[in-house]
Structure 1
Amino acid sequence: MSSNCLRIAVVCSSNQNRSMEAHNFLAKKGFRVKSFGSGNHVKLPGQAADKPNIYDFNVSYDEIYTQNGLLHMLDRNRRIKEAPERFQDYHEKFDVIITCEERVYDQVVEDLELRKERTTTEDCVHILNLDIQDNQDEATIGAFIICDLVAMLAESDDLDNDIDEIVHEIEQKCQRMFLHTVVFY
């Protein structure tokens, strides 16, 4: 499978840091990638730990950028796409969905199970989770791991049969565990 054929989604909670860093890496390598958040709102650090800046999804990065001090991250994001997007509001089909924390993985699986109840088609998607701490250093490390994983998946001639072996190889290489499930929706 070539990098142009594999349809990839990367999902974190707010579609700001982890999913966008991986989106950036994968897009530069030529992969067909989209990124999303799965939370109810986009949350960014505020004046205090218990007072985050909260935005709706689809508020443009330009608008967030002018109101927030996280210039590097937001500047990167707005070069990739106009605004953060919520996974549950998007209905394109993907071959692989990679989440960046277990709670987000659960939300994605739950959403796809609900979609299955509302459709007559059954497409297969592999959902993988790599827990990535929500800071810039870990987002960069996670993006490298995700990029390596996707490159190996894209080389497979039979993704459904090869994915477990590929995931095991990446786990050994990076010393981090993945969750993996298949959903028909």
Structure 2
Amino acid sequence: ESTPPLRLAVVCCSNQNRSMEVHRVLSKRGFSVRSFGTGTIVKLPGPVPDKPNVYDFRTTYDQMYHDLLRKDRHLYTQNGVLHMLERNKRIKPRPERFQSCRDEFDLIITCEERVYDQVVEDMHSREQVTCQPVHVINVDIEDNPEEATVGAFLICKLCQCLQRTADMENDIDGVLLEFEAKSGKTFLHTVCFY
């Protein structure tokens, strides 16, 4: 019998670049996936590094797109932000905050250590209800479009391997070791409970 599809969540800071590229790739491969950010606000690159464009999580990708188009079409076309927002609005209407979601997942993948810590901290602060385990894995991805694409394919391969295991609880450590050896990356991994 085939194992039920894994319920996946992928999380970065602002639910813009890394988590959305992984969301896109996993969706195309038929996975049941949702994406999130852990930040209190959504940040997008601005005219200079210390002046990001800041939005609320309730702002739609379309609203952000038109705001940046109005501010400086040339700059935000050049740096790829408009292109990224175009992709994002094809996937879902707006960014979502992980801490506001009460759905259960089998696997939560984070894209940087700080986000991993925030997810684990949030899971530990919740009241345990069903005692269902969820594996939280961190795969470090640099926050730029090229690395997001590379990272998305690595995460997709990892999810395909885990989906094929007969017993994820027992096989996950072996699969992660194999992936660490192949990719040269170190993956943080912990189990939390709902």
TM-score (norm 2): 0.91
1:90 to 89, 101, 105: 101
1:107 to 102, 111, 118: 118
What stretches of structure 1 move > 6 A for 4+ residues in a row?
none
State how far apart, in whole Å, the 1-side matches of 2:186 and 2:106 are. Answer: 20
State how far apart, in whole Å, the 2-side matches of 1:33 and 1:80 are. Answer: 11
Q: Structure 1: give runs of 5+ residues left out of the alignment.
A: none
How many residues end up aligned between the 2 structures?
Answer: 183
Residue type at the aligned position of 2:181: Q
Identity score, percent: 57
Bigger fraction of residues in strand: 1
1:149 to 123, 147, 158: 158
Larger radius of gyration, structure 1 or 2?
2
Residue type at the aligned position of 1:126: H
State how far apart, in whole Å, the 1-side matches of 2:58 and 2:176 are. Answer: 33
Match of 1:46 in 2: 46
2:145 to 125, 136, 143: 136
State how far apart, in whole Å, the 1-side matches of 2:4 and 2:12 are. Answer: 23
Match of 1:158 in 2: 167
Residues 47 and 15 (structure 1 numbering): CA distance in 2 closer, same or farther, change over 3 Å? same
1:118-137 alignment, distance < 5 Å: 118-137=127-146
State how far apart, in whole Å, the 2-side matches of 1:113 and 1:84 are. Answer: 23
Match of 2:32 in 1: 32
TM-score (norm 1): 0.95
CA contact (8 A) 1:3 1:30 kept: no
